[in-house]
Amino acid sequence: MRASSIDEHDEGRPDWRIIRSLLPYLMEYRGRVALALLFLVGAKLANVAVPVVLKFIVDHFEDRPVDAVVAVPLALLAGYGLLRFSAVFFGELRDAVFARVAERAMRRVSLEVFRHLHRLELAFHLSRRTGALARDIERGTNGISFLLRFLVFNIVPTLLEIALVAGILLVAFSPVFVLTVAGAVFCYVLFSVVVTEWRTRFVREANMADNRSNTRAVDSLLNYETVKYFGNETYEAERYDRDLADWEAARMKNRLSLAALNSGQALIVAGAVTVMMFLAAREVAAGAMTLGDLVMINAYMIQLFIPLNFLGFVYREIRQALVNIERMFGLLQQPARVLDAPDACPLRPDGGSIRFENVSFGYQPGRRILDNVSFEVPAGGKLAIVGPSGAGKSTIARLLFRFYDVDSGRILVNGQDIRQVSQESLRASIGVVPQDTVLFNDSIAYNIAYGRPGASTEELADAVRRAHLDDFVARLPQGLETRVGERGLKVSGGEKQRIAIARLLLKDPPILVLDEATSSLDSAAERAVLDALDEASRRRTTLAIAHRLSTVRDADTILVLEHGCVVEQGRHETLLKRGGVYAKLWEHQQYVRESGSASVHA
């Protein structure tokens, strides 16, 4: 294929450079980030000062008789309470100020991914897995919010707090205390990093299993009717359960490895606290330290290892967040194959003449779908393209919309090569009624207005009337506000086609593409749709791709394709007299039609 979706098994190590790519989102609100960091420093300073005040309180009582209640140091107690409150209050202010930064970053990245997915060519979307793609985007945006919050407000402040505590211990006590803290921190961080790297594969396995199960569920529900037709509910449930079993196994590995990590971290913390308290107790017994010093060291150890323990959690979550968002960033790195030229100008369609000049194209190397195809549709004219299945009829419409670029030759609209005009202006000039109209799960009015968002109620009603849809709408209790269901499953094929025609009439493009618009309809629905199509094609350049030859016999020119080559072209009567491929197709369809009619009347 010309483009491929991200392979769910292509899981390299998370790219830490992703963090650098998030900096622009922080810089958008420099003032807020700076103020949040200021509050962060204030919170940490208050937090580090708490054990110092606690030391003075304990030392004060140690030097006083037990019954000296009047000697309670009110200023120290008030300061202790104020510092405790300040540490929490500054932290809350920090979160409140930074909230806009994180939420805006999620919004910006989500929008960027959404726009990029729409820029990618049709080949990518034909091979994508919708359920897995949706999960990747959801987990990725949540991961971005986590990274922004915890990198700025947990990694940096924890390191700051460790530095402050180490400085106080170094100034106030023996260097052995600082060395003990440094050794414990080093062992803790090293253990956390090594074990977390080992655990990452289990996170990946769980994500991949989650993607597979979600894809299976979405795909099965989208094909609900097919499942029912073949009575395969149990089969689908069993397949879904197999994927869930893989997810369960991966999650269990994740949980057990997490328990091992937490136990190891707890052992390091307990060992460090025990050593520090042993050293402090020995100093107090020797008279080199006061009881308040012992309490301060104990408070610092507790205060230090709580954020350090949280730092281990944060590191684990950051690694998981990187695993989650790397696939979303991989989507952004997926190159768009069909791009506007640097000097692309808007299309000037005027009447909308179309010319294919020696166009060759294949979806895969070595397998051509179109071979040296040439034809012209004058402004306001109607060209029909017919031929057996696989001849390349629908490919011509895809190339005209520039869903793909031709391998050789060129396509001109009003004399302009479509590769030299903007895709937006090109597609704004073309309307389509596809063989299988897929509608949004919204109201009939919304689906019609999609042709020109912002159209007035009068314009919408006029499009409904001209598409011969007004009688159908009048019979509905909710009228145009009737919802059509997922993919339009609540309305019939003929009704969907007329909704598509009304949408096209509202868009009012100069060029019209009819891609086998009646091939799946019965005779009554076909007649109603053909009347609407006649209305739609008036004064428009029309390219009609047809399976039923009877629907295009009035075309100005009929192009006959076979194996990707133009084998005949001319008017209906001329081609019949020629007795070639078209005449044989016509005779075959007439025979089938007459045989079917005879069977009905027998």
CA distances from 323 to 16, 132, 260, 326, 503 (A): 10, 14, 21, 6, 42
Q: Label each residue of 460-524 as H, E or C.
A: HHHHHHHCCCHHHHHCCCCHHHCECCHHHCCCCHHHHHHHHHHHHHHHCCCEEEEECCCCCCCHH
Q: Look up the pTM and report it.
A: 0.63
- Of 327, 332, 275, 263, nearest to 301 by C-alpha is 275
- Is residue 206 very low, low, confident or very high in pLDDT (cuts 50, 70, 90)? confident
- Of 419, 422, 423, nearest to 408 by C-alpha is 419
For 230-250, what is the mean pLDDT?
85
Provide the terminal-to-terminal Cα distance of the chain, rounded to the nearest Å: 49
CB atoms within 10 A of CB 206: 22
Residue 545 has pLDDT above 50, yes or no: yes
- Is residue 485 very low, low, confident or very high in pLDDT (cuts 50, 70, 90)? confident
| CATH 3.40.50.300 intervals, the chain | 340-429+510-602, 435-508
Report the range of poorest mean pLDDT among 139-148, 389-398, 457-466, 490-499: 139-148
CB atoms within 10 A of CB 17: 8
Name the DSSP class of 128: -
CA distances from 534 to 326, 393, 530 (A): 51, 21, 6
CA distances from 555 to 217, 385, 422, 438, 572 (A): 45, 10, 30, 27, 8
pLDDT at position 4 = 39
- Helix or strand (DSSP H, E) at 3: none
| CATH 1.20.1560.10 intervals, the chain | 17-333
For 517-544, what is the mean pLDDT?
71
Q: Please state the separation of Cα 460 from the chain's center in Å.
A: 32
Q: Given the DSSP bridges, would you call strands 541-545 and 557-562 parallel, antiparallel or unpaired?
A: unpaired
Number of alpha helices (DSSP H) and beta strands (DSSP E) in the chain? 20, 10
- Is residue 129 very low, low, confident or very high in pLDDT (cuts 50, 70, 90)? low
Share of the chain above pLDDT 70, in %: 83
Residues 6+ apart with CB under 8 A from 203: 254, 319, 320, 323
Asked if 573 and 556 count as a contact pair (C-beta separation under 8 A), the reply is no
At residue 560, φ and ψ (nearest 5 deg) are -105, 120
Topology (CATH) of 435-508: Rossmann fold (3.40.50)
Asked if 530 and 359 count as a contact pair (C-beta separation under 8 A), the reply is no
Name the DSSP class of 151: I
**Span 555-594, pLDDT tens digits:** 899 999 988 899 999 999 999 999 888 898 888 888 776 6
For the domain 17-333, what is the CATH superfamily, name and number?
ABC transporter type 1, transmembrane domain (1.20.1560.10)
Report the range of poorest mean pLDDT among 18-27, 124-133, 315-324, 441-450: 124-133
Whole-number Å distance between alpha carbons of 325 and 323? 6
Whole-number Å distance between alpha carbons of 254 and 317? 12
Most confident of 3-7, 203-207, 508-512: 508-512
Whole-number Å distance between alpha carbons of 431 and 98? 46
pLDDT at position 361 = 93
pLDDT at position 391 = 84
Asked if 505 and 535 count as a contact pair (C-beta separation under 8 A), the reply is yes
**Span 355-404, pLDDT tens digits:** 999 999 988 877 889 999 999 999 889 999 998 887 888 899 889 989 88
- Is residue 86 very low, low, confident or very high in pLDDT (cuts 50, 70, 90)? confident
pLDDT at position 358 = 94
- Is residue 413 very low, low, confident or very high in pLDDT (cuts 50, 70, 90)? very high
Residue 165 has pLDDT above 80, yes or no: no
pLDDT at position 264 = 87
pLDDT at position 63 = 60
Asked if 541 and 380 count as a contact pair (C-beta separation under 8 A), the reply is yes
Whole-number Å distance between alpha carbons of 272 and 269? 5
Asked if 412 and 420 count as a contact pair (C-beta separation under 8 A), the reply is no
- Is residue 7 very low, low, confident or very high in pLDDT (cuts 50, 70, 90)? very low
Whole-number Å distance between alpha carbons of 455 and 448? 10
Average pLDDT, rounded, for the chain:
79
pLDDT at position 126 = 65
pLDDT at position 560 = 92
Radius of gyration of the chain from its Cα atoms, rounded to whole angstroms = 36
Whole-number Å distance between alpha carbons of 46 and 91? 11
- The highest-level CATH class for domain 340-429+510-602 is alpha beta
For 221-229, what is the mean pLDDT?
73
Whole-number Å distance between alpha carbons of 419 and 341? 7
